[in-house]
């Protein structure tokens, strides 16, 4: 019909590539950009460029950081004997919000998924193993999502790490706090039952 | 905690300003930007800048366009005697998708809303009235959303346009096609009843 101008169509396509944003949401976002002031649109474009050029992966844990080492890896207050292995940088943020974990992290940037053609070599597995050689690390916690890919990745890593004589654990399964037993799926309920703790 | 780097935080804030995108969605988008290639991030930033600098409002209908006149206003195939007045450019797209409307449009870029401090002078009402002087326009269709603000804006415009001797209509209210009578609210049902057509 030719009623969507080319630069607008291009912007809609760009926004559509984000997870959870469909054609409709992308269209709303694009029109929002058009209604911005010149300065605001420039600030948005600059924030994208800036984040991309100024942030890179921490040499140790592979989380995004401005410095060579991220604030967590370079902190003297963190317990260096424990590494919590997660899928994404967002998972690091989730753990930090609990304020209860004081060890280090390792970000895999994905999970092993043969269906999607993602193997261990595309993840930061090599970098994780390199951290375990010094004898400083006593425990590696597998903190992937409780999905098929998460399980498979945890199993794969455990098989590599256990022979090094390092304790390998994983997050407990069970009822979510505040959740309702009635609406809990059978698998979770079974896990909660078999992992029951003494009071 | 200092675990969100400043450029990342800034990008999250930028994405949060979009309608329908909360802190969580904005965070996902920001990390998506970080995982892009340099070229892809540059393309996204450029699309934003491009859309903003290359698109402006059509001199006649106020929809966004690259040229001075939008493709619809400059098309010889459109019926120039009818103007459909809408709130946003997205509404133009919605009508075009029906492929049943062949007249022109006028985009108000908002609705009159005293609660939000938006009066007629912030909308493109002046530009609409300027189009009605030539005698070419025979009908103006009010096609605002069926909300309080939409109604108020339609009434306000009708009061301005009727004295010019131009027919002023509005979209029909009624049951949505494919909708269920059982789940239709009373007001819609009443409107559908009072607007009933002979078979």
pLDDT tens by residue, A146-165: 888 988 999 999 999 999 99
The CATH class of B77-170 is alpha beta
pLDDT of residue A199: 61
Average pLDDT over residues B16-21: 91
Q: For residues A99, A103, A108 and A114, what is the CA-based torsion angle, rounded to 10 degrees?
A: -90
Break chain B down into helix, strand, coil percent, rounded to 5: 45, 15, 40
Whether B6-54 shares its CATH topology with B77-170 is answered no
Which of B24, B15, B27, B35 is CA-nearest to residue A107? B35
Residue to substitute from B1, B2, B4, B5, interface A, most A β-carbons within 10 A: B5
B55 Cα to chain A: minimum distance (Å):
7
CB-based contact A66 B1, cutoff 8 Å: no
> Is the pLDDT score of B92 beyond 50?
yes
Do B166 and B128 meet the contact criterion of CB atoms below 8 Å apart?
no
Domain ranges of chain A: 6-54, 77-170
Torsion-angle region of A20 (φ positive above 0: left; ψ -120 to 50: alpha; else: beta): left
pLDDT in tens, B145-179: 888 898 899 999 999 999 999 999 888 888 777 77
Cα–Cα distance measured from residue B52 to residue A11, given in angstroms and rounded to the nearest whole number: 10
For residues B87-116, give the mean pLDDT.
Answer: 90
Predicted TM-score (pTM) of this structure:
0.73
Indicate left, alpha or beta for A37 from its phi (over 0: left) and psi (-120 to 50: alpha): beta
Q: Which residues of A touch B77 (CB under 8 A)?
A: none
Q: How far apart are CA A133 and CA A191, in angstroms?
A: 34
Give chain A positions within 8 Å (CB) of B55: 5, 7-8, 34
Residue A107: predicted pLDDT: 96
Q: Kindly report, residue by residue over B61-77, the tens digit of the pLDDT.
A: 999 999 999 999 999 99
Q: Strands B56-57, B64-65: parallel, antiparallel or unpaired by DSSP? A: antiparallel
DSSP for A58-86?
-TTT--EESSSS-TTTT-TTS-TTEEEEE
How many CB pairs below 8 Å do chains A and B form together? 154
Q: What is the DSSP letter of B32?
A: H
Whether residue A49 and residue B55 make contact (CB cut-off 8 A), yes or no, is no
Q: What is the 3-state secondary structure (H, E, C) of A26-44?
A: HHHHHHHHHHCCHHHHHHH
pLDDT at residue number A1? 42
Q: Are A44 and B14 in contact (CB under 8 A)?
A: yes
Query: Of chain A residues 129-188, which have a CB less than 8 A from chain B?
Result: none
Report ipTM for this prediction. Answer: 0.72
Least Cα distance to A26 among B38, B20, B111 occurs for B20
Superfamily the domain A6-54 falls into: RecR Domain 1 (1.10.8.420)
What span, in angstroms and rounded, lies between the C-alpha atoms of A125 and B33?
Answer: 23
Please answer whether residues B161 and B169 qualify as being in contact, where contact means their C-beta atoms are separated by less than 8 angstroms.
no
d(CA A10, CA A26): 11
């Amino acid at each position: 019909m030719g009623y969507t101008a080319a630069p607008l169509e291009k912007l809609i396509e760009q926004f559509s590539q984000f997870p959870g944003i469909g054609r409709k949401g992308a269209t709303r976002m694009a029109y929002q950009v058009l209604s911005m002031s010149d300065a605001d649109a420039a600030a948005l474009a600059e924030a994208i460029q800036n984040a991309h050029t100024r942030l890179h992966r921490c040499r140790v844990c592979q989380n995004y950081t401005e410095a060579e080492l991220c604030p967590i890896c370079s902190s003297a207050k963190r317990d260096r004997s424990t590494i919590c292995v997660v899928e994404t940088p967002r998972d690091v943020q989730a753990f930090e919000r609990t304020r209860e974990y004081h060890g280090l992290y390792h970000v895999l940037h994905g999970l092993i998924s043969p269906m999607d053609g993602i193997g261990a070599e595309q993840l930061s597995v090599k970098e994780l193993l390199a951290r375990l050689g010094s004898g400083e690390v006593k425990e590696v916690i597998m903190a992937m999502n409780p999905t098929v890919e998460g399980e498979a990745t945890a199993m794969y890593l455990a098989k590599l790490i256990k022979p090094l004589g390092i304790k390998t654990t994983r997050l407990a399964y069970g009822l979510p706090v505040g959740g309702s037993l009635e609406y809990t799926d059978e698998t979770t309920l079974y896990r909660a039952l078999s992992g029951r703790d003494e009071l």
